[in-house]
Structure 1
Amino acid sequence: MSKATTGTVAGAVLALTLAGPARAAAPVPAPLKATVSHWWTSGGESAAIRQFADAFNRAGGQWIDQAVAGADQSRASTINRIVGGNAPVAAQFNTSRQFRDIVDQGLLNNLDDVAARGNWDNILPRTIIDAIKVDGHYYAAPVDIHMPAWFFYSKAAFARAGIKAEPATFDEFMQHLDLLKRAGLIPLAFGGQVWQEKILFDAVFALVGGPALYLKIYRDRDVRAVHSPAFRDVLVKFRRLRAYTDPGAPGRNWNDATALVVSGRAGVQIMGDWAKGEFTTAGQVAGREFGCFPGFGPKAPYVVAGDAFVFPKTGKPHVVRAQKLLATVMTAPGPQAEFSARKGSIPIRPDVDMSKLDLCARKGIEIMADKSRQLPNTEMLLDPDLNGALQDVLTNYWNRDDTPERAQQAFAQAMKDNTW
């Protein structure tokens, strides 16, 4: 080694000595792992929930995806895991009474501190708060506002059938279905599954029967109203729609029904706004390839639904931190905007960037501003047992040669048998 090199090395050592002992780099904290159970498995749904996963990972978490196809199956899996001591960190439920039992049993952590920081009391719609706040405590993080009674239609199919404008009344809608049938198209894209039959019925109920009758029966449990001529008319109009579905409808998944509209093989689908994610995934744009309307006339009721995540009870501090980080990320303005743009829903909060939202979502946000048009969906008003019993009544009526009078009687009996 030369003298010059020796001097350089010595100088470097002196400099290090004067600077004091070397400090080890600060350890990088381990990511907060979170197993997240949900049922979003279609193309549009998967793209949407990926926005939450990416945002959580960027915030210091590690999202471990546990998708279970089918809402009922996913919820049952979650409850079994909670009871069995192997609960996920977070799990999806609808914004409803579905998780009330596990709240009552003390099996969920509350999110009061997250809600306070996020000002949930002031920014969330009352219909959402009423579903997720129990005895003064928040037990779920809402992630979207869905409206399950949207009408989505193929512009190409309408043009082929000679339909020039959206229907202004239910009777005009039926006339449009006739035109679509005569044009050789499937008029009504439909999936014959129990929950889809209930969504279709409730859309007809809200629009034909009106909010007053809807609330009198679903909220007030008025059995006399079930036997009314007005409710019979709802049942008759609901059943008439069956003639406009195709033979392949029974058992069809909702997204496969949406694909019929996307391809132009079918004219209309009555489905929640999550269906827009399928149009988006196919590269279609609202107002260009497909249209959407939330009912008939400027004051049609807007049925409010949604999804939320609950956080099973745990005493492990790192799991609690992961839960609170998840709840904070999922309800933050940025992830809300990205998620909603892909899911088809509208954000739970008004202070998000709306520029990425489509025509249908902007319509929904405008309607939600009118509180008089907000109508809770049945899962916010009924406990799961009664909701399930009424679903069974309606699927029997839809699929069998039954009379509306017998359906009224069965509906009333289900309400009597499942009072609480």
Structure 2
Amino acid sequence: MKHHAPVLRGIAAALALAGALAAHAAEPLKANVIHWWTSGGESAAIKQFALAYDQAGGQWVDNAIAGADQARATAINRIVGGDPPTAAQFNTSKQFHDLIDQGLLNNVDAVAAKENWNGIFPESILTAIKVNGHFYAAPVDIHMQDWFFYSKAAFAKAGLKGEPQNFNELFADLDKLKAAGVIPLALGGQAWQEKITFDAIFADMDRDLYMKVYRDRDANAVNSPAFRNVLTTFKRLHNYVDAGSPGRNWNDATALVISGKAGMQIMGDWAKGEFSAAKQVAGKDFGCFPGFGPKSPYMVAGDVFVFPKTDKPEAVKAQQLLATVMTSPAAQAAFSQRKGSIPIRPDVDMAGFDICAKEGMAIMKDKSRQLPNPEMLIPPDVQGALQDVITNFWNKNQSVDDAQKAFASALKS
């Protein structure tokens, strides 16, 4: 039997090699994904993408980094340093356009064509992700960053029976909440939160002026009495925040509304993820309204994932699978129901969404109400300079005139 040994060993080796090759071929497509979704509601949401990706034959490697600025900085450092992740989160904005200009991102044109992104996604989103005719990001949600959320219990305590319909009613309600012994306005005292609060006031007061300032960068608009009035109205809100506001995280401000310790919060609809995590129901435990009246602007914002440059076939396949899975109807529904956003696609079944999301989805069908968020209109450095102006005005004893001049100067930068 010895003369058969080499043959048998050869067969065994061939089988072992075939097994190894088969195992290698069956290996899932690993995807290292950088994102900043770390709060309770956010974590529950991103897990839906991870689960969908794994079920599609991939292997999601989660790289959660607390804080949007920190996550973006980590992603950029890794891309520039030659150790890129498979995908990285950015906002639906101009934040990642520098990476496109430097040739550091792969496009996902093949996925966009196959999935008909041009025919499905809103124009405002397409404008942000499509540069020089190529798709460089997969949009995953639509957020509206200036929803008003309120505690039903706090409103009842203050004797408030309805939602304010204009700014006069808003300030009257804040006064009643203050008199009832609750924090009228829950605000996390961080620069980005102060800026979105300002933009919420700005958009609801005068959307035409908003576009003249942010889109056109019109010096006359910034120096106008109307813009001065926007600054004055914004600063008036300072009378209604508590002493613990400075440095507070946004989700901790939301927790104050959830507990009934605060009456109201102006925040993006991602806050609904926190209400959901706390088992609170929209319309029952808390209320929401996207500005004043049926024609109030709906400020479009959101998140995308970009795909760093790589020529490794498996990495490219992973990127394309991610882009396909993240934008698929089922994953979109599962994600947004937990995140508080609305799906990027208008063809997702609305049945599982709360009343706030259903209202947002209905509004998005009216193009006249869609308003780009400032980061879609101005470069990141200008946004940063304007954010500094607003936080300085909010936190210091600065005159409205000086703030107006500082805003005009920053807009020119």
Residue 354 of structure 1 is matched in structure 2 by 350
C-alpha RMSD over aligned residues: 1.1
Residue 72 of structure 1 is matched in structure 2 by 69
Identical aligned residues as a percent: 68
Residue 58 of structure 1 is matched in structure 2 by 55
CA distance in 2, matches of 1:357, 1:48: 14
CA distance in 1, matches of 2:266, 2:404: 23
Structure 1 position 192, deviation (Å):
0.4
Please state if 1:125 is matched with 2:122: yes
Structure 1 position 156, deviation (Å):
0.3
TM-score by length of 2: 0.94
Larger Rg: 1
Residue 173 of structure 1 is matched in structure 2 by 170
4+ residue runs over 2 A deviation: 24-28
CA distance in 2, matches of 1:350, 1:169: 30
Which of 150, 153, 167 is equivalent to 1:153? 150
TM-score by length of 1: 0.93
CA distance in 2, matches of 1:259, 1:41: 15
Letter in 2 for 1:252: R
Residue 365 of structure 2 is matched in structure 1 by 369
Residue 268 of structure 1 is matched in structure 2 by 264
Which of 376, 382, 390 is equivalent to 1:380? 376
CA distance in 2, matches of 1:220, 1:179: 39
CA distance in 1, matches of 2:32, 2:311: 16
CA distance in 2, matches of 1:242, 1:36: 38
Letter in 1 for 2:93: S
Residue 409 of structure 2 is matched in structure 1 by 413
Residue 200 of structure 2 is matched in structure 1 by 203
CA distances 1:102-135 after superposition (whole Å, capped 9, x unpaired): 0000000001010011111011111101111000
Letter in 1 for 2:163: E
CA distance in 2, matches of 1:179, 1:415: 37
Letter in 2 for 1:321: K
Letter in 2 for 1:82: I
CA distance in 2, matches of 1:413, 1:311: 35
CA distance in 2, matches of 1:68, 1:366: 33
Please state if 1:48 is matched with 2:48: no
Residue 343 of structure 1 is matched in structure 2 by 339
Structure 1 position 371, deviation (Å):
0.2
Structure 2: 5+ residue stretches without partners: 1-17
Number of aligned residue pairs: give it: 394
What SS does the aligned partner of 2:163 have?
coil
Which of 229, 233, 243 is equivalent to 1:237? 233
Letter in 2 for 1:242: H
Residue 393 of structure 1 is matched in structure 2 by 389
Residue 29 of structure 2 is matched in structure 1 by 32
Residue 92 of structure 2 is matched in structure 1 by 95
Structure 1 position 223, deviation (Å):
0.7
What SS does the aligned partner of 1:357 have?
coil
Letter in 2 for 1:204: I
Structure 1 position 240, deviation (Å):
0.4
What SS does the aligned partner of 1:354 have?
coil
Which of 316, 319, 336 is equivalent to 2:315? 319
Letter in 2 for 1:259: A
